[in-house]
Structure 1
Amino acid sequence: MKTWEKILVEASAAWEKETKEEGARVGCALFCIRTGRQAELDAGKLFLPASNNKLWTSIAALECLGKNYCWTTRFTVHDRALCIHGGGDPGFGWEEALIVARHLKKKGMTQLPPVLFLDNSWLTGRPWGTGWAWDDLAQGYGARVESLIMEGNRIIFRAAPEGEASRLSWYPELPSVQVIPHLSWTKARYSDVTVEREGNTHRFRLQGRLSRREPEVSGAVWCGARFFAEVFVETCRHAGILIPDRWEVREGVPESGTRITVEYASRPLSKVLHRVNRDSDNLTAEILLRTLGLEGKGVDHETAGLEVVRETLGKWKLTGPAVYTDGSGLSGYNLSSPRALAELLRTFLRREDFPIFLDSLSLYGVHGTLADRVEEFPAGTTVAAKTGSLAGVKTLTGYLLRSGLPRYGFSLMVNGLLEEENGERLQDMFLARLASFR
């Protein structure tokens, strides 16, 4: 048997013996960039890709939208109203809002008008992806996809590792937020917390176990546009703008003429990709998909974005995903094979924007979702890759680098896990063997 195939088979066999995960399905595709040599283990079979699905979305977005693409949020002041026009900026948050508030004050808005109009019309489709589970929608990773996005449309709850697990602070600090915590500490590596939200409120119930290594959990807000307005009012207060005792929120655009305009452009796509691939942010991936639909088809629904991605892959003569239903991989309907993802990695190596894509991936032990991985590789060797996690699913697709240059490409996919940490153990064992191979 060839040496490369031995790496795949031996790593899988040793892992099954160590973890007792005999029922899990493992597939892997591996290729050498310099020689083109490849090896496979059930690489043509279909797996739930989890967040490896973001690779299809992000690479197509980089190709079709361009590295300098930006999203713009516009603020217009009228006679007795302020209108906020959403443009889908996935990275807009408190700091950005404070910059805008200071600009508005400098231009003459010393007191907030009593009426805030919210123009949330940039996106008109459903605020969630196809196949998202109902019990994901209150979790921070299931945040609503809307034209107006503030702090990822989620609230972060955090406990001090040295204190009580149920003693929480949260960000942004808003008077409308209420928390009912039923939490305890766990020695496990990751937290296991269920987030429930009561109807159209910011009243959250948190139940489960927090890890001291990651003592925080996030909840999705009930309405991104309303949340945007509430946070923006607070940033205006911080900027020294007078806030009326009573103010109201309306949907749409005011009829009176505009007196002041401030526009805020997002960071370019080349940097936004970090949110998608390093941080594995579902909302940002879904914004990319809908933006592809708007720019490519003139339609803001995810279906149009999916068509653009498939057309792009078709131009490159790639197999692509067998089932592709959302941009982020949170859906349980998606199916891809390790072979198809490896083909994508191999093809994009030749594209002009490959360095931007490579830079967007997580780096073992350094940043992103691989920051806490501690596998020791030979000097000058590291791994840049996209992780994926769902219940019973662990996937990893990327490159092994030597002296900063990609030497091997791989896609390793595991479904049917009893313990998700066991999937990470297989990834570590496989990559350690690959890194030591000469």
Structure 2
Amino acid sequence: MRRLKRSIILICFAVLICGCKPTFVSKKLSEEINNDFFNNQFTGILVYNPKTKDTIFKYNADKFFVPASNAKIFTLYSALSLLPEKIPAFKYSVKEDGISILGTGDPTFLHPYFNDSTALKMAEKFKKVNLVLNNLSEDKFGPGWAWEDYDAYFSPERSSFPMYGNVLTISNQDSLKSIPSTLKNNIQLSKAPKRRKYNENSFFFNANEKETIEVPMVIDTILVSKLWNAILPEKVSLSNYSGEKMEHIAYSVPSDSLYKRMMLVSDNFLAEQILILASSTISDTLSPAAIRVLVLNNQLQDLKQKPRWVDGSGLSRYNLFTPTSFVQVLDRLYKELPQERLFNLFPVGGQSGTIKNYYKGNTKPYLYAKSGSLDNNYSLSGYLLTNSGKTLIFSFMNNHFTVPTAEVKKRMQAVFEWLRDNY
């Protein structure tokens, strides 16, 4: 009888301890969040244990925030749901000695990082190449993008058949060089307020500048014809898409290589093109908007708060997401992918990507997360590994602050480190 009583007491004591832990964590994090620093901005946070399904801490988690590049988490989920293991490079049909090629939005063709040449190698085999254009049903810029960013490296135009990442890469270490080289004569060596004329492929480069720069190109039929005829002289003709069906699909790079690059360096161009690529799996008419609607109404129909999701990159301030929605999608990814593959796609605190200089572990990494930055906004969502061996999913969103972003990151880091050491 005494043994039974002792067992009951021990069980009750264990339950009491376990029951108090979330309360203790919640109390501590409340103290961190409810201070003058965070009260002078709009902050939301959700911390979740996917194994026990416990909400560890919640603060404004169901409120909507501008996510910036955290939107790429939704783009990643959409791509993993819809795209195959290799990227569909283009659709094509062969007739006699000619090939017709229809773009799928693949951004890797002759890209400075991927340098894929799948389309070039196939086209070289034929006497005639017909490149079918204009099957992208949406504008070259996303809704709510800042117009003054037209010459910024992070804001290339979207297109159905990108080349060279849709940017002109300029360097001047020993002599002036450009990729693609065919536009070298379009570069003026002079200092100017902008890197390029507003709607022309006329570029400006400071002769004393030693850094390599990337400037978005104006993607029109004149440029596309010039670029293709530079690599396949007198073989390429252009035509407008009129609904013709292509019989085959060619594939380029492993899909994970594209996703990892997008996530690590927060590449807006890749994110936008990935949604376009996803749309190529359901139609020859490319529409990233159609994919967003499809995913929200099907794969993610159970989200507690349906986001306003308007682009793949997060460049738009029209985007509105809640911390809860990010945690829900991150939880889906955690359940559906092997951990090694999943964590390999995310920047690693103190080691890689956009969080290389923050959130460093003492002996090993503890944070795998996607950041999102716009002026006065900074968010981070992902996975946190505690010293006790637990994995937590979190979304920590900050809008409308006026202090330097570095100060926000330091405050966030203190919260993450406390969780790592005490949960």
> Does the pair score TM above 0.5?
yes
Residue matched to 1:23: 40
Structure 1: distance between partners of 2:205 and 2:93 = 35
Report the CA distance shift for 1:310/1:374 in structure 2 as closer, same or farther (over 3 A): closer
Where do 1:47-126 residues align within 5 Å? 47-68=65-86, 70-72=88-90, 85-93=102-110, 96=115, 101=120, 107=125, 117-126=130-139
Deviation, structure 1 residue 433: 2.3
Matched, 1:311 2:297: yes
Following superposition, the deviation at residue 8 of structure 1 comes to 3.2
Once residues 276 and 429 of structure 1 are traced to their aligned partners in structure 2, the CA distance between those partners, rounded to angstroms, is 27
* Superposed counterparts of 1:100-249, under 5 Å: 101=120, 107=125, 117-157=130-170, 170-173=178-181, 174-179=183-188, 182=191, 195-205=194-204, 215=211, 217-223=213-219, 226-235=222-231, 243=233
Q: Is it true that 1:331 corresponds to 2:316 in the alignment?
A: yes
1:170 and 1:273 map into 2 onto residues whose CA distance is: 27
* Separation (CA, whole Å) in 1 of partners of 2:75 and 2:360: 31
- Alignment partner for residue 423 of structure 1, among 403, 408, 413? 408
CA distance in 1 between counterparts of 2:218 and 2:96 reads 28
Distance 1:64 1:291, change over 3 A: same
Tell me the residue number matched to 2:11: none
Question: How many angstroms does 1:284 deviate by?
Answer: 2.5
Which residue pairs with 1:186 in the alignment? none
User: Aligned match of 2:257 in 253, 259, 271?
Assistant: 271
- Say if 2:105 and 2:276, in contact at 8 Å, map to a contact too: no
| Mapped partners of 2:418, 2:216: distance in 1 | 40
TM-score norm. by structure 1 comes to 0.74
Match of 2:4 in 1: none
Unaligned runs of 5+ in 1: 184-193, 237-242, 254-261
Q: Determine the C-alpha separation between the residues in 2 that align with 1:104 and 1:291.
A: 21
Residues 79-102 of structure 1: per-residue CA shift (max 9 Å, x gap): 7x9865423111211574656556
Deviation per CA, 1:21-58: give whole Å up to 9, x if none.
76322211112234333201222221100111121222
Return closer, same or farther for 1:367/1:270 CA change in 2, 3 Å cut-off. Answer: same
- Please say which structure displays the higher CA radius of gyration: 2
3-state SS in 1 of match to 2:168 = strand
Query: Is the Cα–Cα contact under 8 Å of residues 148 and 228 in structure 1 kept in the other structure?
Result: no
| Post-superposition CA distance 1:93-117 (Å, at most 9, x none) | 1574656556665x476xxx8xx75
CA drift at 1:126: 1.8
Name the amino acid aligned to 1:177. N
3-state SS in 2 of match to 1:72 = strand
Whole-angstrom CA distance in 1 between matches of 2:172 and 2:392: 41
Preserved CA contact (<8 Å) 1:74 1:264? yes
Which residue of structure 2 aligns with residue 240 of structure 1?
none
Q: Look up the SS of the partner of 2:367 in the other structure.
A: strand
d(CA) in 2 for partners of 1:337, 1:128: 25
Partner of 2:7: none
The question of whether the paired residues in 1 share the 8 Å contact of 2:307 and 2:321 is answered with yes
- In 2 relative to 1, CA 275–268 (structure 1 residues): closer, same or farther, beyond 3 Å? same
Deviation at 1:120, TM superposition (A): 1.6
Q: CA deviation at 1:313?
A: 4.1
Partner of 1:281: 267
> Judging changes above 3 Å, is the alpha-carbon distance between structure 1 residues 182 and 52 closer, same or farther for their aligned structure 2 residues?
same
Asked if 1:290 corresponds to 2:267, the answer is no
Name the CA shift for 1:85/1:298 in 2 (closer, same or farther; >3 Å). closer
| Counterparts in 2 of 1:44 and 1:103: CA distance versus 1, 3 Å | closer
Q: Where in structure 2 are there 5+ consecutive unaligned residues?
A: 1-21, 242-247
Identical positions, percent: 22
Matches of 1:135 and 1:346, distance apart in 2: 37
Alpha-carbon separation, structure 2, partners of 1:374 and 1:69: 32
Equivalent residue for 2:24? 3
Kindly provide the CA deviation profile for residues 339-380 of structure 1, in whole angstroms up to 9, marking residues without a partner as x: 22112222332224665443221112333222x314432323
Give 1:413's aligned amino acid: M
- The amino acid that maps onto 1:154 is V
User: 1:3–1:216: structure 2 CA closer, same or farther, 3 Å change rule?
Assistant: farther
- Alpha-carbon distance between aligned partners in 2 of 1:60 and 1:311, rounded to the nearest angstrom: 12
| In structure 2, distance between residues paired with 1:169 and 1:406 | 51
Q: Are the structure 2 counterparts of residues 292 and 312 from structure 1 closer, same or farther at C-alpha, using a change threshold of 3 Å?
A: farther
Could you say which residue in structure 2 is the equivalent of 1:382?
A: 366
Q: Which residue of 2 aligns with 1:239?
A: none
Shift of 1:332: 1.1
CA distance in 1, matches of 2:217, 2:253: 23
Q: Partner letter of residue 143 of structure 1? A: P
Q: TM-score scaled to structure 2, two decimals?
A: 0.77
Equivalent position SS for 2:69 = helix
Distance across 1 between alignment mates of 2:339 and 2:117: 34
| Counterpart selection for 1:360 from 323, 345, 361 | 345
SS at match of 1:266: strand
Q: CA RMSD for the aligned pairs? A: 3.9
> Paired residues, what number?
390
